[in-house]
Amino acid sequence: MKKYLYYIFLFLPLFGYNQTWLSCGQGFVYPPKALFSDTISNKLYASGFVTTVDGVQANSIASWDGVNWDTLGHGALGTFSEFLIRYKDKLYLQKNDNIYAWDFNSQSWDTITGGFVNGYIWDAVVDSNNDLILVGEFNRIGGVLSHNIMRFDGTTFYPVGSSSFGIYFRSVAIFNNEIYVGGNFGNDTIYNGIAKWNGSQWLTLDSGFVGGQPEVADLIVYNNRLYAGGSFFGTKKEYNPSLAVWDGIKWNNIGGIFDQNNPWGVVYKLHKWNNKLLVCGSFNRAGDIIVNNLALWNDTNWCSINTDPQGLVWVSTIFQNKLYIGEHETLNGDSVHLLGYLTGGYNIGTCGGTIGIDELINSFNIKLYPNPTTSSINIIDENNQFQNAYIEIKNYLGQVVFTSPFASQIDLSSLSSGMYFLTIENKNDKKTIKIIKE
């Protein structure tokens, strides 16, 4: 008997951490483009090219309670943007060129007066004044002119400042009672992908980001800091690709998001999940660990999740403490019919070393330039901490490709193009920096 009990307890962890992706009912014929998790009604709302759900006509939008679908009065036929939000007992969205709202009290659809949109709304947030802030790619809503951002109090639309920058604003968040917007700002050289409105003027966040035309796809406040995720090389001062943290004064580096075949990965969505930050996108490395387009950050280190979404993660949300992902026919080999959820919470895989929110930029005054480089790279040790140190460079696979005593200049011309990790170490200190060889 003891022998049998031994084997039962031996395999309990395997059963306890078993993870499966399940489809939401019979799924969709066409993928949803937006997901909104409503904690008040305890329902998940999905919109997009949703013609039917579980065989019932849905007309572009439906709600899911974790077991069954509801069609919200058979929906409202039309093409929807990716903006969905609950505000003052109504669910707001854009259909074609107008803003519509599902009234939770009357259980009917309302057309918002003066809600004609000359373009697209991409994101929305409720600010500290209980107004709805809308951002996207437009220059007016109704008769009110405003470039890419608008304020709505439930009745009337108002412009926000006099913004004239940016091709579009992709994301919006409220941090320290100020409005932060991120997006693609084109050839703008002042804000560079992110800006904030303090109630009276638009301000830069330490000159924003660099890397082609940097784009911020999502903003979220986590543990009293603002996280910006998207597609960029880093800030003006440091290489911290595609994910950076703003503490209200300066940018902080937490290791970065990478792709093996590119200088940086792409972050599409950020979620809070069980007191951790979930990062979703198209990447295969977060900080110092290998991942599959999903990664968890807890203010100390990066961890992977033992599941493979088998492709980039664009449409996602957390509902009833489960991760939902859209636009995939299969997830980790499980058929989900374009919208699935992960059962059993998450099974944490590999976790990296302790980083700490400020460690990468404040511990040592080490500067490398140019980065990226085509040949050699210069190292400046401002405090003379590493003059007797040892330099080691590893490639993406962790293979050592270069070693030498500390030098102020290193010739990398023999290395292939790609991402590398340069470590400077002496008996007391150690510093690792990502470098790009073009």
Q: Are 173 and 274 contained in the same domain?
A: yes
Q: Are 210 and 272 contained in the same domain?
A: yes
In the listed set 330, 345, 360, which residue is the last one of a domain according to the structure?
360
What is the Cα–Cα distance from 43 to 434, expressed in whole angstroms? 42
Q: Are 410 and 330 contained in the same domain?
A: no
Strands (DSSP E) found in 247-347: 251-252, 257-258, 266-273, 276-282, 285-286, 289-290, 294-297, 302-305, 316-319, 322-326, 330-331, 334-335, 339-342
Distance of CA 29 to the CA centre of its chain: 26
Tell me if 186 is assigned to some domain.
Answer: yes
In the listed set 336, 360, 384, which residue is the last one of a domain according to the structure?
360
- Strand (E) or helix (H) holding 3: helix 2-16
Q: Are 122 and 237 contained in the same domain?
A: yes
Q: Please tell me the total count of domains within the chain.
A: 2
Place of tokens 């900080």: 287
Q: Are 386 and 260 contained in the same domain?
A: no
Question: Which residues span the domain enclosing 430?
Answer: 364-437
Q: Are 299 and 372 contained in the same domain?
A: no
What is the Cα–Cα distance from 14 to 307, expressed in whole angstroms? 14
In the listed set 360, 395, 428, which residue is the last one of a domain according to the structure?
360
CATH number at residue 191: 2.130.10.10
pLDDT at 113: 86
Backbone angles phi, psi at 6, to 5 degrees: -60, -45
Q: Are 401 and 384 contained in the same domain?
A: yes
Tell me if 7 is assigned to some domain.
Answer: no
Mark residue 133 as left, alpha or beta (left: phi above 0; alpha: psi -120 to 50; beta: remaining). Answer: beta
Q: Are 290 and 330 contained in the same domain?
A: yes
CATH number at residue 370: 2.60.40.3080
Tell me if 4 is assigned to some domain.
Answer: no
Q: Which of 222, 218, 227 is nearest to 256 (CA)?
A: 227
Q: Are 277 and 420 contained in the same domain?
A: no
pLDDT tens, position by position, 221-240: 999 999 999 999 888 777 78
Which of the residues in the chain have pLDDT under 70?
Answer: 1-18, 74-81, 261-263, 355-365, 396-397
Helix (H, G, I), strand (E, B) or coil at 428: coil
What is the Cα–Cα distance from 236 to 190, expressed in whole angstroms? 11
Q: Are 207 and 242 contained in the same domain?
A: yes
Tell me if 1 is assigned to some domain.
Answer: no
Q: Are 275 and 422 contained in the same domain?
A: no
Tell me if 372 is assigned to some domain.
Answer: yes
Residue 186 and residue 167 in contact, taking contact as beta carbons nearer than 8 Å: yes
> What secondary structure does DSSP assign to 178-199, as a single string?
EEEEEEE-TT-SSSTTEEEE-S
pLDDT tens, position by position, 50-71: 777 777 777 788 899 999 998 8
Q: Are 371 and 350 contained in the same domain?
A: no
Written as one letter, the residue type at 61 is I
Tell me if 342 is assigned to some domain.
Answer: yes
Backbone angles phi, psi at 295, to 5 degrees: -150, 150
